[in-house]
Copies of this chain bind each other. A is one copy, B any other.
Amino acid sequence: MGSVTSELGGGPVVRVGVLGCGNVGAPLIELISSQGAAIEARTGLRLEVTRVAVRDIAKHRPAAIDTSLLTTDADGIVNDPDIDLVVELIGGIDPARARIHSSLKAGKPVVTGNKELLAKCGAELFQAAEGAGVDLLFEAAVAGGIPIIRPLRESLVGERITRVMGIVNGTTNYILTRMTEAGASYADALAEAQELGYAEADPTADVEGYDAGAKAAIIASIAFGASVVADDVHHEGISGITEVDIDFAKRMGFVIKLLAVAEQTDVGAICVRVHPAMVPLEHPLAAVRESFNAVFVEGAAVGALMFYGRGAGGSPTASAILGDLIDAALNRHKGSHASVGQLATAVLRPLDEVESAYYLNVEVLDRPGVLAQVAGVFGNHAVSIRSMEQEGLGDEARLIFITHRARGAAVQATLADLRALEAVDRIGSVLRVVNDEA
């Protein structure tokens, strides 16, 4: 192992350089220190944090971390021959991308939780790691502390996975939980999430599904072995969900969740999307409350699996980074590394072709013949109605439809024709329904 590992009293030492010391870096360094003896007892390896790159040394107090380890020279860590392994926690595309490439090129395994980067340049980085013959591990990039990437890469590598549905954004799950359980409006639940620090001042990335979309792209890449990037993911957010939708969901035995869905149909085509959906109360995802995350995996042989836990937060994310760090250290010591394999080019299936059951909330004028007219539009596009509920609203009426499975294109055509009807005042939420057929 050359200068990489050396005997210093106990087992071989693995010298770790950490890029970034914020929300995740600080608890990671604490964990490595508090768990060091236990890790050495289990694995025979001693993890030693050798240098930590930060933007501003003055900001870091000695109580949290030994300030002598701190440097502002991140490139110095990447190029230091005395550092065996790099943890990238700076986030974003640049300069994280270049630093990961440099580390891999220098033969240093990299552990990262950078979902934005992986969802944009995953295939390129996996190839670089494979070329260098070292690990690039990223459990923390999807669903924080929940082991999902490793099970997909290893336990389920022989499984034909048909679909993955994840609640992978804690902010939106918190908002939807408050709307469901406390009857809060979307605006109030969002404000509450912001007060608690779950949502940012500009909540767009969370509530419009971009954060979940990046995770969906990574999940799809690993589950199906094909390169899917964030731009391939169709997004619908939760900002249009109303109390009416929440109430109808409850009444009909559903709960509304924002789902990241990666699906591989029998023809080998992949569809990756983020949207709110009606989830039946007896489905395991329905019980995932507040800011918790869960990933539901369906495989041909294994059936249904679900992985549940904390999808964010410094300490759970640091735990995921640490698991990867130990794995990479062990692999390096054995002269081995894990591989994602060559990602194929993804054949993306347009949403128009994808089938789902739907919930539609249609406001119409309350007069004779309207229901027949509306039902006729569904029939014209061969969209079969499973159930309908009507609710009076003074001069108007609200019609809530649940359809059988129908192609996206047929539902869009139905909506266009409904909007053209004089008797249709407004079309509210249109949500997919997770059911046994799907």
Residues on A facing B (Cβ under 8 Å): 27, 31-32, 34-35, 38-39, 41-44, 139, 145-147, 150-151, 154-160, 225, 282, 284, 286-289, 292, 294, 299, 301-310, 313, 315-316, 318-320, 322-323, 325-327, 331, 334-336, 339, 341
Contact B341 A158 (CB under 8 A): no
In the assembled complex, the CB of A284 is this many whole angstroms from the nearest CB of chain B, namely 6
- Alpha-carbon gap, A307 to B146, bound state (A): 9
Specify which chain B residues have a CB less than 8 angstroms from the CB of A339 in the assembled complex. 43
Contact B159 A155 (CB under 8 A): no
- Alpha-carbon gap, A315 to B160, bound state (A): 12
- Alpha-carbon gap, A35 to B299, bound state (A): 12
Contact B341 A43 (CB under 8 A): yes
Could you write out 28 A-B pairs with CB less than 8 Å apart? A35-B159, A41-B225, A42-B157, A42-B341, A146-B305, A147-B156, A150-B150, A150-B155, A151-B151, A154-B327, A155-B320, A157-B327, A158-B322, A158-B325, A284-B287, A284-B288, A286-B287, A292-B304, A294-B306, A301-B316, A301-B322, A303-B315, A305-B308, A305-B309, A306-B309, A307-B307, A334-B334, A335-B336
Q: Which residue of B lies closest to A323 (CB)?
A: B155
Contact A302 B316 (CB under 8 A): yes
- Alpha-carbon gap, A295 to B322, bound state (A): 21
- Alpha-carbon gap, A289 to B160, bound state (A): 25
- Alpha-carbon gap, A43 to B153, bound state (A): 10
Q: Which 3 residue pairs are nearest across A and B when measured between Cβ atoms?
A: A287-B287, A147-B155, A302-B319
> Among B156, B282, B288, B320, which residue has its beta carbon within 8 angstroms of that of A289?
B282
Contact B319 A158 (CB under 8 A): yes
- Alpha-carbon gap, A256 to B358, bound state (A): 35
Specify which chain B residues have a CB less than 8 angstroms from the CB of A27 in the assembled complex. 301
Contact B302 A154 (CB under 8 A): no
Specify which chain B residues have a CB less than 8 angstroms from the CB of A284 in the assembled complex. 287-288, 308
> Among B305, B310, B322, which residue has its beta carbon within 8 angstroms of that of A145?
B305
> Among B31, B157, B286, B326, which residue has its beta carbon within 8 angstroms of that of A157?
B326
Contact B159 A323 (CB under 8 A): yes
- Alpha-carbon gap, A34 to B299, bound state (A): 14
Specify which chain B residues have a CB less than 8 angstroms from the CB of A323 in the assembled complex. 154-159
In the assembled complex, the CB of A417 is this many whole angstroms from the nearest CB of chain B, namely 40
Specify which chain B residues have a CB less than 8 angstroms from the CB of A225 in the assembled complex. 41-42
Contact B341 A315 (CB under 8 A): no
In the assembled complex, the CB of A158 is this many whole angstroms from the nearest CB of chain B, namely 4
Specify which chain B residues have a CB less than 8 angstroms from the CB of A282 in the assembled complex. 289
- Alpha-carbon gap, A286 to B281, bound state (A): 13
Specify which chain B residues have a CB less than 8 angstroms from the CB of A331 in the assembled complex. 336
Specify which chain B residues have a CB less than 8 angstroms from the CB of A320 in the assembled complex. 155, 302
Contact B158 A303 (CB under 8 A): no
- Alpha-carbon gap, A35 to B331, bound state (A): 27
Q: Which residue of B lies closest to A339 (CB)?
A: B43
Specify which chain B residues have a CB less than 8 angstroms from the CB of A289 in the assembled complex. 282
* With known contacts A158-B39, A289-B282, A325-B158, A31–B301 Cβ distance under 8 A: yes
Specify which chain B residues have a CB less than 8 angstroms from the CB of A299 in the assembled complex. 319
Q: Which residue of B lies closest to A149 (CB)?
A: B155
